[in-house]
A and B are shown apart, each in its own frame.
Chain A
Amino acid sequence: GQQLNQSPQSMFIQEGEDVSMNCTSSSIFNTWLWYKQDPGEGPVLLIALYKAGELTSNGRLTAQFGITRKDSFLNISASIPSDVGIYFCAGRYGNKLVFGAGTILRVKS
């Protein structure tokens, strides 16, 4: 079945630094989504991407849908302590979403 490879698995960065994470797959997806999950909560949608090459921003977050439709990246600029959590990418195929294993982000204040 479709699989997403999300990297890095975890990051420990200094407050104020920029962060980058990405997802790749051998399969083509029609939609890429990025979610954030806080401890004890469900994932919350951050950014949705619908077209190859699309670049979308949401505040300090920027995400891109790869031209090949097999990858996507998420950038967080000027990280702050509340950015900690687990970030998931998800790709849509048909009516279903497949998720990456997540990137754990820890921020040093």
Chain B
Amino acid sequence: DAGITQSPRYKITETGRQVTLMCHQTWSHSYMFWYRQDLGHGLRLIYYSAAADITDKGEVPDGYVVSRSKTENFPLTLESATRSQTSVYFCASSVPRDGEAMNTEAFFGQGTRLTVV
């Protein structure tokens, strides 16, 4: 039971470079999410996806791009990395609870620590 995996676990990149963080889940969960975690802010939603080819913005989407061509993958791309995007990024997935249309509990990956220098 692999669950949800993120890669890489750690990444250092330079300002202005494009970076892609990968997220893969083996549960066939319909919903997937990207969060960033910063001191004092908790977890903030960047983008989410309700199904393959359906994505939507979260609270802090600027500077990020996502795609979801397959249910199991949800990559997050920083098109031109900035120092303010130094953070720990978490991918999560969830599935609607029985009898409900909306997703409920979210299960998280181990995170990617990104440093932009």
- Contact present for A96 and B108 (CB under 8 Å): no
Q: Which residue of B lies closest to A96 (CB)?
A: B45
- Near B by CB (< 8 A), chain A positions 1-21 give 1, 6
> Is A30 in the interface zone, CB < 8 Å from B?
yes
Given A1-B59, A42-B111, decide whether A94 and B102 contact each other with a Cβ distance below 8 A: yes
Q: Contact flags (1/0) for A12-47 with B, using CB distance below 8 Å? A: 000000000000000000110101000011111100
B43 touches A43 (CB 8 A): yes
Closest to A33 in B: B105
B98 to chain A, nearest CB (A): 11
Say whether B41 contacts A42, CB under 8 Å: no
Interface residues on B, range: 20 to 34
Q: Provided the pairs A31-B104, A33-B105, A92-B104 are in contact, do residues A97 and B110 lie with their beta carbons within 8 angstroms?
A: no
For the complex, give the distance between the alpha carbons of A43 and B35 in Å.
11
Q: Is A73 an interface residue (CB 8 A)?
A: no
User: In residues 82-109 of chain A, which contact B (Cβ within 8 Å)?
Assistant: 88, 90, 92, 94-102
**A101 partner, pick from B41, B50, B97, beta carbons under 8 A:** B41
How many contacts A-B (CB < 8 Å)?
Answer: 59
- B48 and A88 form a contact (CB under 8 A): no
The interface on chain A, measured as residues whose beta carbon lies within 8 A of the other chain's beta carbons, has a size of: 26
Given the complex, which residues of B lie within 8 Å of A98, measured CB to CB?
A: 45, 59
Contacts of B50 in A (CB 8 A): 95
CB distance from A55 to the nearest CB of B (A): 18
CB neighbours of B58 from chain A (8 A):
96
Q: Is A48 an interface residue (CB 8 A)?
A: yes
Q: How far is the CA of A41 from the CA of B112 in the complex (A)?
A: 10
Across the interface, do A101 and B40 meet the contact criterion of CB distance under 8 Å? yes
Contact B105 A41 (CB under 8 A): no
Looking at B31, B43, B104, B105, the one whose CB has the most chain A CB atoms below 10 A away is B43
Contact between B90 and A42 (Cβ–Cβ < 8 Å)? yes
Cα A96 to Cα B70 in complex, Å, equals 21
Q: Flag whether B109 is at the interface (Cβ < 8 A).
A: yes
Question: 7 shortest A-B CB distances, which residue pairs?
Answer: A42-B108, A99-B43, A101-B42, A99-B42, A43-B108, A42-B110, A48-B105
